[in-house]
Amino acid sequence: MEAQNSLIKSRAKPIKESIKIPQPLFSPKTPGAIILNQNHPSKDASGRLLTDVVLDPVLTSVLEPHQIEGVRFMLSCITGGPGVETGSGGCILADEMGVGKSLQAISLIWTVLKQSALGVPLVRKVIVVCPLSLIQSWKVEFKKWLGIYRVHVAYISSEATTSKTIQDINAFIEGSTLDVLIISYETLRSNIDKLTKCNIGLLVCDEGHRLKNSKTKTAETLCQIKTRRRVILTGTPIQNNLDEFWSMCDFVNPDALGQQAVFKRVYAVPIQKARDSHSTKKEQESALSLSSELTTRTSSFILRRTKDVIKLPQKHENIIFCLPSTIQLELYRRAISKKIADAFHNSASALLLITYLRLLSDHPGLIFPEDIALSALEGRGHKGDTINSSLLSESQRLILSKHTVKARKKGRSKQNEKVKDNLIGEEEQQIEIDEDNIEDQEKPIIDLFRSCVDEQEINQLKAIDITCSSKLVALDAILAHIKRMYPNDKVVISSVFTHMLDFITSLCCLRRYSFVRLDGSVKAAQRNDAIKKFTEQGSNTYEI
Report the alpha-carbon distance of residue 458 to residue 368 in Å, rounded. 9
Going 188 to 191 to 193 to 198, the CA torsion angle's sign is: negative
In degrees, to the nearest 5, what angle opens at C-alpha 508 toward C-alphas 505 and 510? 110
Q: Which residue has the higher pLDDT, 541 or 185?
A: 185
Over residues 357-371, the pLDDT tens digits come to 888 899 888 876 555
Q: Same domain for 182 and 42?
A: yes
488 falls within a domain? yes
Mean pLDDT of 411-423: 32
296 falls within a domain? no
372 falls within a domain? yes
CA neighbours closer than 13 Å in the CB half-sphere of residue 226: 6
Q: Same domain for 35 and 167?
A: yes
Q: Same domain for 538 and 478?
A: yes
Question: Is pLDDT above 50 for 386?
Answer: no
**How far, rounded to the nearest angstrom, does the alpha carbon of residue 176 sit from its chain's CA centroid?**
31
Which helix or strand (DSSP H or E) is residue 153 part of?
A: strand 153-155
Give the model's pLDDT for residue 82.
53
Q: Same domain for 437 and 489?
A: no
Banded pLDDT at 384 (limits 50, 70, 90): very low
Q: What are phi and psi of 516, to 5 degrees?
A: -125, 150
Report the alpha-carbon distance of residue 257 to residue 268 in Å, rounded. 12
Mean pLDDT of 403-430: 35
287 falls within a domain? no
Over residues 14-37, the pLDDT tens digits come to 444 456 889 999 999 999 999 999
Instruction: Give, as one character, the DSSP assignment of residue 54.
Output: B
156 falls within a domain? yes
Question: Is pLDDT above 50 for 233?
Answer: yes
The answer for residues whose C-beta is within 8 angstroms of residue 184's C-beta and 6 or more apart is 129, 130, 131, 132, 135, 156, 158
Over residues 106-160, the pLDDT tens digits come to 999 999 999 999 999 999 999 999 998 899 889 999 999 999 889 999 999 877 8
Over residues 526-538, the pLDDT tens digits come to 777 777 778 777 6
Q: Same domain for 109 and 223?
A: yes
Q: Same domain for 27 and 156?
A: yes
How many Cβ atoms from other residues are within 10 Å of residue 26's Cβ?
A: 19
Give the model's pLDDT for residue 376.
40
How many Cβ atoms from other residues are within 10 Å of residue 314's Cβ?
A: 4
Q: Which residue has the higher pLDDT, 166 or 337?
A: 166
Question: Is pLDDT above 60 for 395?
Answer: no
Distances (CA, A) of 435 to 403, 416, 447, 494: 10, 7, 17, 28
Over residues 461-519, the pLDDT tens digits come to 666 678 889 999 999 999 999 999 998 888 999 998 888 888 898 899 889 888 888 88
Average confidence score pLDDT of the chain: 79
Q: Same domain for 386 and 415?
A: yes
Query: 233-271 burial, b if ≥16 CB within 10 A, otherwise e?
Result: bbbeebeeebebbbbbbbbbbeebbeeeeebeeebbebb
507 falls within a domain? yes
Of 513, 516, 509, nearest to 531 by C-alpha is 516
Q: What percent of the chain has pLDDT over 70?
A: 74
**Pairing mode, if any, of strands 430-434 and 416-420?**
antiparallel
| CATH code where residue 58 lies | 3.40.50.10810
Q: Same domain for 172 and 77?
A: yes
Q: What's the domain range around 429? A: 326-464
Mean pLDDT of 49-61: 96
Q: Same domain for 449 and 491?
A: no
**Pairing mode, if any, of strands 202-206 and 416-420?**
unpaired
281 falls within a domain? no
146 falls within a domain? yes
Q: What share of the chain is helix, strand, coil (3-state, %, to 5)?
A: 50, 10, 40
State which of 438, 464, 490 marks the end of a domain. Answer: 464
Question: Is pLDDT above 50 for 405?
Answer: no
Q: Same domain for 445 and 481?
A: no
Mean pLDDT of 296-323: 88
Q: Which residue has the higher pLDDT, 208 or 224?
A: 224
Mean pLDDT of 218-224: 91
Of 65, 58, 59, 38, nearest to 50 by C-alpha is 38
In degrees, to the nearest 5, what angle opens at C-alpha 209 toward C-alphas 204 and 210? 90
Question: Is pLDDT above 90 for 427?
Answer: no
State which of 464, 495, 517 marks the end of a domain. Answer: 464
Give the model's pLDDT for residue 12.
47
- Give the number of domains in the chain: 3
State which of 416, 443, 464 marks the end of a domain. Answer: 464
Q: Same domain for 437 and 529?
A: no
Instruction: Give, as one character, the DSSP assignment of residue 539.
Output: S
Q: Same domain for 472 and 460?
A: no
Question: Is pLDDT above 90 for 310?
Answer: no
Residues paired with 542 in a beta bridge: 491, 515
Banded pLDDT at 224 (limits 50, 70, 90): very high
